[in-house]
Amino acid sequence: MQTELDLDMSMVLSKFFLRSIGLWISENSAEERRMKIMIIYTVWHSIFATVEITRDFYFTIFYKGDILYVTTNILTVTMGLIKICIIMAHKEEFINLIVYVRQHFWNVKYNFREKEILDDCRKTCTFFVCSVTIMGACAIVAYLITPVIANAGKNNSERVLPFNIWLNLPVSMSPYYEMIFTLQMINMYQIAVTYFCFDNIFCILAIHLAGQFRILRYRFSKLCDIEHQINEKDMELTITNYAHTFYKQLKMYVRHHQELINFCDRLENVYTMLILGQVLVFSVLICLFAYQGLLAAAPLARRSIFIFHLIGSMALLFMFTYSCDGVIEHSEKVAIGAYSALWTIMPMNKSGKMLRNDLIMVIERSRRVCCLTANRFFPVSLETYNKFLLKLAGVWMTVNNAEERRRRLTMAFTAVIHVYGLYLNLGDAYYTWNDLSHCTFLLSNTLCIILAMFKLLILNFRRTEFKDLVLFAQQNFWHFKYDHDEKILFMKCRKLCKLWTITACSFTQASLAFYIITPICANIGKNKSDRVLPFKMWVDLPLSVTPYYEIMFVIQLATVQQIGITYLCNDNFLCILNMHVICQFRMLHNRLLNLWKIIDQKTDKIDYADKCYIALKKCIRQHQSLIKFCEKLEYVNTFPIFGHVVVFSLLMCFDTYEILLANVSTGTRLIFVFHMVGSFIHIIFFTYTCHGLIEESSNISLATYSGWWTILPMTETGRMLREDVKVMMMKSMRPCYLSAGGFFPISLETSTALMSTTMSYFTLMRESSVKNADK
């Protein structure tokens, strides 16, 4: 009977490749002997390839051949040999890791939500492993096809091999040629498998480790979830009976947490040297692959080898850093799961006190994240890798099928508009490539269109989470069920949001308007046959005469407007949500400060402690919901934030160049004046709101500590309140924030760094412009 593991494509491929090099679990002595033979066979191939490529390197230097090509090959072969040596030195630990994962991660009973997490891990592993394997196979095929194509039409005495072999033998003649070709083909396959199979299994182990941390977080968050089982009549009795049961469950979860930390340490011990080698050599390899694939004077077949190498190496590095980053992220979020448990409803008996103390220990330990390091020099995460352009855009929520159909039609229309916009700008850039000023204008437009397209694409993937954000804000933020002080905060927030929206829309519309005004002004005094459009179209049609001109003008006008809306609307909405979350944290801050003032109404200390504790539990629930909202806001917007941060400096550089240096019309300059001012205001306001989120969420700790908890009696309620205050303060020490793709949190410092980068780009572009002018 097939198990779920057998049906997992990532493990099927990894098991096949690891068995083919002799490093897999042996079920009996016969299989153990086969594994030993295969490992000897693999080591022999690695040594043979190293000797062969080293000799090639020596003779290439001697005869002044293509040294960079041979250097690329020798680095690839050497890296594979180093990997197998490192894994062989930790063979027993390596096999034990696979055995442990099979027993404790894959062959365990899970509930529905936990199975969803496990399936998500498997899908991610399958995508990564298949991508890397396909690129490796394509590179092998390209290596073999290159000499076949080169030999076409040649005599037998002139035939070439995939790799030069410097022997005093007629290697181009039969049967030597066929024998050596077959040997090199087998050798190349074995080296390729050695190169990527250990990385594949590492990715699988790390992603499933991160998945186990996600499962543990989910279990912690559901630890005391019995609200639906409690009746008001016997509430205290039910909670007391459940307290001991929940504490037993908590001890199981703590042991699971300890086992995961131990597993991470073991994985780190096996792979730490290998990770260091990967990180150090990848920079050189990717540089060499890019040179050989794009710049070197080589046949197309040889270029294809290194293009596949380049794509595969980028995929491999991303796989490495993504899996490591997942371990860091989800091991840290165990603390959020522990804090999200309904520990506030537990009584202050022996089990309740131990449960609270143990949750504090879990939160404390989770603050020191698990990570996989490069020989303990630095942790590996997504910061090690440069991610790609992504941007997000908003679409409305649908309430019925008719509205859903309209939404899909609108999205299809928007997608077509963006593709058309790309066609206009890229087509014009192709025909006017030598005009730097005009090409800068077109490249700036193209970058904005690409960002807007990514906005549309990404939000479509995460539309459910986006809808949840809007619904939560409608139900919990945008109402008037506030007291007098809270209404003042809410109205200030609304005024600031209105001011931001009006400002952003005004500058956007002003910039878009000059796309239309510029050709209108240029057409004044011209014949109809000389009229120009906002964007030149290189087609064999009389576009300057009626009615073609008017039709194309309206289409381009609609295109500019739609792209502008897509580019702006989600960024605008993100800033509004950010401001309202900040406002909610300020309200919570005030509630925590005012929580103790009920002493004026009731001076009995025991009754006062009960009232304070009830109010504190409401504040804790609100704090938990705000943290959860910030997490979802981060999940939906982390990629567009990163895209905006990456592209912002380049766009500002283009804007500055077009305003100050380019030989363009006044109307075109005004386009970029409004675009630059609007972009500058946007980045300042956006980083201000992100900085405010960090500041206000961390201030909750100060408000909690500032309370009058010192005057409360040491009754059961008083002790519970003190414990809960302690937990709330600990959680607030880790503020909420929005990050750029998980690389770094956004704050006001981000805006200053972006301005500095803009000036650097502009300096380079100005020097390039001066050199072109001198020529």
Mention every residue, 6+ apart, whose C-beta is less than 8 A from residue 152: none
Domain membership of residue 39 (yes or no) is: yes
Which CA distances in Å does 738 have to 103, 135, 398, 468?
Answer: 37, 34, 27, 18
Domain membership of residue 519 (yes or no) is: yes
d(CA 747, CA 724): 30
Span 634-654, mean pLDDT? Answer: 80
Domain membership of residue 131 (yes or no) is: yes
Per the structure, how many domains does the chain have?
2
Q: What is the pLDDT of residues 286-302, one digit of tens each?
A: 666 766 665 556 667 77
Higher pLDDT: 49 or 290? It is: 49
| 560 and 701 belong to one structural domain | yes
Domain membership of residue 233 (yes or no) is: no
| 174 and 253 belong to one structural domain | yes
Span 4-10, mean pLDDT? Answer: 63
d(CA 204, CA 323): 8
| 398 and 306 belong to one structural domain | no
Secondary structure class of 370 (helix, strand, coil): coil
Closest CA to 439 of 676, 773, 769: 769
d(CA 498, CA 501): 5
| 595 and 733 belong to one structural domain | yes
Domain boundary among the residues 356, 379, 402 is at: 379
Closest CA to 312 of 145, 538, 143, 112: 143
Counting residues of the chain whose pLDDT is more than 90, the rounded percentage is: 1
Q: Do 518 and 671 form a contact (C-beta atoms < 8 A)?
A: yes
Q: What is the pLDDT of residues 305-345, one digit of tens each?
A: 777 777 777 777 778 778 887 888 888 888 888 887 777 66
Domain membership of residue 2 (yes or no) is: no
Q: pLDDT band for position 226 (50/70/90)?
A: low
Domain membership of residue 91 (yes or no) is: yes
H-helix or E-strand containing 291? none
Domain boundary among the residues 319, 346, 379 is at: 379
pLDDT at 290: 66
d(CA 398, CA 656): 41
| 766 and 735 belong to one structural domain | yes
Span 478-482, mean pLDDT? Answer: 69
| 371 and 429 belong to one structural domain | no
| 347 and 457 belong to one structural domain | no
d(CA 35, CA 20): 8
Q: What is the pLDDT of residues 337-373, one digit of tens each?
A: 888 777 766 777 777 778 788 888 888 888 777 888 7
Domain membership of residue 4 (yes or no) is: no
- Of 177-191, 213-227, 241-255, 758-772, which range is least confident? 758-772
Domain membership of residue 231 (yes or no) is: no
- Give the chain's length: 775
Mean pLDDT of the chain: 77
Verdict on whether the full-model pTM lies above 0.75:
no
Residue 46 belongs to domain spanning = 9-226+238-379
d(CA 408, CA 460): 10
Higher pLDDT: 303 or 28? It is: 28
Residue 469 has pLDDT above 50, yes or no: yes
| 274 and 407 belong to one structural domain | no
- b vs e for 553-568, b when ≥16 Cβ sit within 10 Å of the residue's Cβ? beebeebbbbbbbbbb
Residue 401 has pLDDT above 80, yes or no: no
Instruction: Name the token pair of 601.
Output: 């109404």
| 245 and 104 belong to one structural domain | yes
Closest CA to 122 of 12, 196, 243, 198: 12
- In order, the DSSP letters of 38-81 are HHHHHHHHHHHHHHHHHHHHHHHHHTT--HHHHHHHHHHHHHHH
Span 427-431, mean pLDDT? Answer: 77
| 207 and 342 belong to one structural domain | yes
d(CA 510, CA 456): 23
| 425 and 335 belong to one structural domain | no
Q: What is the pLDDT of residues 666-696, one digit of tens each?
A: 777 787 788 778 777 878 888 888 888 888 8
Residue 399 has pLDDT above 70, yes or no: no
Domain boundary among the residues 360, 379, 398 is at: 379
Place of tokens 């269109």: 449
Tell me, rounded to whole angstroms, the distance of Cα 243 from its chain centroid. 39
| 330 and 386 belong to one structural domain | no
Q: Do 414 and 566 form a contact (C-beta atoms < 8 A)?
A: yes
Place of tokens 């109205």: 491
pLDDT at 479: 65
